[in-house]
Structure 1
């Protein structure tokens, strides 16, 4: 299959966490005694990248680095970005700025020790950089990171800044442009509102033709789309959290079809990591 709009490269990202990592209120503690299929999920993702000549940014939890050091080393060995997803999947807007700094630094220390390379980027668990804690981006700037990918220009019950810019930019924080690129999640307009289409629930909910059409439309305008998924989303048989109806629908809808949908999209369009995209677009 010939990849479409080869002059535009999109960005492929994965949030690397276990099946039990979630941030919904009042959910029962999961039974983790049966383990997980995490290693198999990661091999599926890495194999898809190999077969489609795609590079990706893997936002890895620090605790994953502790539990699966060989997996993190494999990600780096195959030429992908290893970036921070924090240490234990805690919501950034529920942390003090000191707790946030310690959390990110702990994850960075673990990941850099495993890969031998500097961590260049960060994505907050559950997109938890919002208007109230936007100044936390200054912490990432102080740590010397090149980019943040935590802002989703939508509004949901859990996350989002609907008025945020939809293009890659250097954000204004406390009245100044900080030395850090913000890489917001891709959105499309639907009934006058921003809505995601190429990651997580949106990727599972929308039909493949709509996702491919949105990517193609963006590429024809010279814009890149960002795909994001979690390892658990390629396995309909992985253990599941006991969630209320709405949260269960968001978390698990259509997981049985995600892998084939992702394979087709990776074969249809060109994908690279965030750091490579920034290098070519902005000479970072």
Structure 2
């Protein structure tokens, strides 16, 4: 079993649950081409790692994944994890109208709630696609009764990010009004005056283990928490791969072979819980 860190702070573990072909690069069709994926095996690996280390997580599940793998979604909930929405078909939120976004999230929420028998409390946009120009889309989540959003990455990249967004959990303001839901932004570290991610996706695969652990310890030492996020495909170097241009291929697949052991080491080094559990414990979230 894991050893708690020096302050036994509750960091948050999250997974974006989608197939190997779900991506949002320009001109890319999200179609698996009939190939058999390793999805079930990778999900069992992730759930097994959580069991072995006593970790709880938030699984942001696509609605179409719920339709294709209902037994997997039920198992996630049965093992005490937080099942949240990742939308229905991995469409970029800022390419949808407000109404289409609302309907997309609602469709996914309905599917997941019917599968688990429990309310869906949270949402994360595919590819962090809540940005400045569609920040008001958070109002749709409030209308749907969701309690938290985890879609904002306080960085600037060519794909996503709101670099000046708050880096702490807060209730966002839209149109001068505070929304009745929490924003749980992705973790960043400040390097030369610039926010950089360190604990999820490409950043998790890029930075050495000691850098990530040092950043988590620094956050915990100042009373903050870190959020880890990964996709099932990122723990499996043998999974099918998309044909991508060099830059996108580097971002999407760099060091996939080292992700599983790095994640397992972190889960044994720190205490991790789900977003819903963290908000219930430290804020006034009602489940």
Same fold (TM over 0.5): yes
CA deviations over 1:1-49 (Å, ceiling 9, x no partner): 5221343100000000000000000236655222100000000000000
CA distance in 2, matches of 1:28, 1:110: 24
Q: CA deviation at 1:191?
A: 1.7
Partner of 1:248: 249
Partner of 2:89: 88
Partner of 1:107: 108
- Please say if residues 153 and 164 of structure 1, whose CA atoms lie closer than 8 Å, have aligned partners that are also in contact: yes
Partner of 1:171: 172
CA distance in 1, matches of 2:100, 2:121: 20
Moved more, 45-54 or 19-28: 19-28
Structure 1, unmatched stretches of 5+, are: none
Partner of 1:216: 217
Partner of 1:68: 69
Q: CA deviation at 1:259?
A: 0.2
Q: How does 1:47-196 map to 2 (within 5 A)?
A: 47-196=48-197
CA deviations over 1:158-199 (Å, ceiling 9, x no partner): 110001000000001011111110000000011210000000
Q: What TM-score, normalized by structure 1, do the two folds share?
A: 0.98
CA distance in 2, matches of 1:93, 1:30: 21
Partner of 2:259: 258
User: Any idea what SS the aligned residue of 2:113 has?
Assistant: helix
Task: Name the Cα RMSD after superposition.
Answer: 0.9
- Please say if residues 122 and 147 of structure 2, whose CA atoms lie closer than 8 Å, have aligned partners that are also in contact: yes
- Please say if residues 6 and 269 of structure 1, whose CA atoms lie closer than 8 Å, have aligned partners that are also in contact: no
CA distance in 2, matches of 1:174, 1:11: 29
- Please say if residues 151 and 184 of structure 1, whose CA atoms lie closer than 8 Å, have aligned partners that are also in contact: yes
Structure 2, unmatched stretches of 5+, are: none
User: Any idea what SS the aligned residue of 1:150 has?
Assistant: coil
CA distance in 2, matches of 1:203, 1:243: 20
Q: How does 1:33-48 map to 2 (within 5 A)?
A: 33-48=34-49
CA deviations over 1:106-159 (Å, ceiling 9, x no partner): 000100000000000000000000000000000101111110000000011111
CA distance in 1, matches of 2:63, 2:246: 30
User: Any idea what SS the aligned residue of 2:72 has?
Assistant: helix
Extract structure 1 runs of 4+ deviating beyond 3 A.
28-31
CA distance in 1, matches of 2:250, 2:282: 37
CA distance in 1, matches of 2:205, 2:144: 35
- Please say if residues 55 and 272 of structure 2, whose CA atoms lie closer than 8 Å, have aligned partners that are also in contact: yes
- Please say if residues 70 and 115 of structure 2, whose CA atoms lie closer than 8 Å, have aligned partners that are also in contact: yes
Q: CA deviation at 1:218?
A: 0.4
CA distance in 1, matches of 2:163, 2:245: 26
CA distance in 2, matches of 1:46, 1:249: 27
